[in-house]
Amino acid sequence: MKDLYIDFDGVIYNSIDVSYKIAEEEHVNKDYESYYQFFKNLDWCGVLEKSEEINNAFNCIKKIIDSKKFNVFILTHVVSLKEAELKVELVRKHIKNVTIIPVPKRLSKAEMVRIKDAILVDDYPENLREWQKAGGIGVRFDLDMDGKGFPVIDKLDELIEMF
Ligand SMILES: [Mg+2]
């Protein structure tokens, strides 16, 4: 069985679109530190309420688990502990038997887990580049099917056929 790590924002839930829209409305500067502070103080409860599941993601993850081809983990960047709590609560409402790993935003996902031959599904190409550099396999999730140099999917259960 291959280790499979699945991103949350922009893959399972469209929370990233919702939070960037709020940042735009609040005229947050487009540099890393301004965004970091914005996300630190963001009302994640409100963001998750306004966000939606992407392409039946939770059901797809259940199918992936049932395929018995992968050890499945959700690997999600967080800025605050509150954000981590709310994401775990949300995932648990849908899936009981999946491991959720919150990654402090200032660390790379590639620094958190054993990567050799593990798959990362992520919408953010930089995460995939770091992952690949560390010996893992990157798959981009993109609704426009733009892989940016990586194999690409727009629905999570496509992974079952891909590997
Ligand atoms: Mg993401």
Domain range annotation of the chain: 2-15+53-162, 16-50
Q: Ligand 1 mean position to 14 CA, how many Å?
A: 9
- Given a contact cutoff of 8 angstroms between Cβ atoms, the answer to whether 31 and 39 are in contact is no
φ and ψ at 53, to 5 degrees? Answer: -65, 140
Q: 137 - beta bridge partners?
A: 119
Q: How far is the CA of 13 from the centre of ligand 1 (A)?
A: 9
82-109 pLDDT, tens digit per residue, is: 999 999 999 999 999 999 999 999 999 9
CA distance 105 to 19: 15
Q: pTM of the full predicted structure?
A: 0.96
Structure-block tokens of residue 108:
């790379």
In this structure, are residues 162 and 139 in contact, taking their beta carbons and an 8 Å threshold? yes
- What are the tens digits of pLDDT across the range 122-158? 999 999 999 999 999 999 999 999 999 999 999 999 9
From ligand 1's centre to the CA of 122, what distance in Å?
A: 6
How far is the centre of ligand 1, averaged over its atoms, from the C-alpha of 107 (Å)? 14
Cα distances (angstroms) measured from residue 158 to each of 74, 101, 118, 120, 151: 17, 23, 17, 14, 11
pLDDT tens profile 57-80:
999 999 999 999 999 999 999 999
Instruction: Give the residues across from 139 on adjacent strands.
Output: 121
| CA 42 to ligand 1 center in whole angstroms | 17
What single string gives the DSSP state of each residue in 95-150? -SS-EEEEEETTS-GGGTS--TT-EEEES-HHHHHHHHHTT-EEEEE-TT---TTS
pLDDT classification of 13: cutoffs 50, 70, 90: very high
Q: What is the dotted CATH code of the domain comprising 2-15+53-162?
A: 3.40.50.1000
Residue 161 Cα to ligand 1 midpoint, Å, equals 22
